[in-house]
Structure 1
Amino acid sequence: MVKFEDIKGFVFDLDGVIADTSVYHSKAWHQLADELGVAWSDDLAENLKGVGRMDSLNLILKTGGKENAYTEEEKEKYAAKKNTNYLSLLKNMNASAILPGISDFLKTLEENDYRLSLASASKNSPLVLEQLGLAKYFEKRVDPTTLKHGKPDPEIFARGAEVLGYKPEQCIGIEDAKVGVESINAAGETSVGIGDPKILHEADINFTDTTQLTLANIKAAMKVGEH
């Protein structure tokens, strides 16, 4: 593991790390799954975390044994419908959706001159940041429309370091999804997983929730890793 002193930047996922937008995504996908006649489950909801829009739709269809039931054009329409549902749910979002401890963590990073970027697969992330009042922290963002591969491919987190002008080993990536942690690791960054350590066991550092996400805790965990 790299030394804490070598870290210059932090690359953030959005859903489940900065704010609980996954709730809104789940509701919107659940609505669409019902319409498509696919049974919704906690496992399906978990597997959709951190996954792009079309990949999510294909996963839902596969789960229901309907992967060949629709043309690409029809799939595009369903994906667009999900997004419309999601955006209408988002209108109710405000700073109360920011996960516990995140506002303080972002302030601390800014005060200590770390640079931050956003690596979210969501095309709506700029809108979400505005709604939350956190856009000022994330001047650098990865544009998901420019990516060729979704998580767990390293592309999005590699780009997250690149937009900051840093090497991957100078950055810490923060994720709450298994595919996201795999993406961070494959990009060569230090991974922090937020959530169940059984699911996120591949993370270099694991915190069960965002209240534990502090610079001091990351420093302590990296010092332990050096020995």
Structure 2
Amino acid sequence: MELLPESREALDEYVAPSLDDVEALLRVIEGWAVRAVPECVALSVTLLEEDLTFTLVDDATASGARRDTEAASTPAGTAEPAEDAHALDERGWAEMARERAFSGIESTVCLPVVEHGRAVLNIDLYASTAHAFRDRIDGLVEALGAWQAGAVTNADLGFDTLRRAEAAPERLREQRLVDVAVGLVAARAGLTTDDALSLLRQGASAAGVSESQAAAVARTLMS
């Protein structure tokens, strides 16, 4: 598997004392996952505190596209259920999810990693066959140090973590802008950084703009 280009860009910019080498972590997880599930074609790791996702993907999956579901949809764009389908029929929901799945992905599992009672990572694995994770989750949980009770299968057949990984560089740029603005506000107003961040958030909320937009204004005014 190869790093998504946006993940490479984000990794080149990402610095955190608590997790110095995210790429090494990705590669370790890749090794365990591919040995346990040879059908694994992609994986994502999400740092929950930072809300950043990094993704490894094979070439075929990286170039995949969503399947055409128009034939299985009503004119309003919603799937037409079978007449006898029950609203809570899990098999029916699974089939509907697969109709909207990312090309080349037939099954997924999300494994949270918990430290000191708090989830710190989500590990999402993606496979090219529908039953790739059957009878393998226990082994993955043990190998990856994940929380077994929190494991969820087939929740991301649409490969949403790919889109979050693609957005990671921009998220990092926005966070850096906020950090700089908070530092300027703290220095000018004699506040702690926590108080300066709170002030920036209040200003963003009052103006109806994002934190990064408020940070850009604050940086311009104080430069």
TM-score range relative to shorter protein? under 0.3
Q: Point out which structure has higher relative CO (alpha carbons under 8 A, 6+ apart).
A: 1
TM-score (norm 1): 0.26
TM-score (norm 2): 0.26
- Looking at secondary structure, tell me which structure has more strand per residue: 2
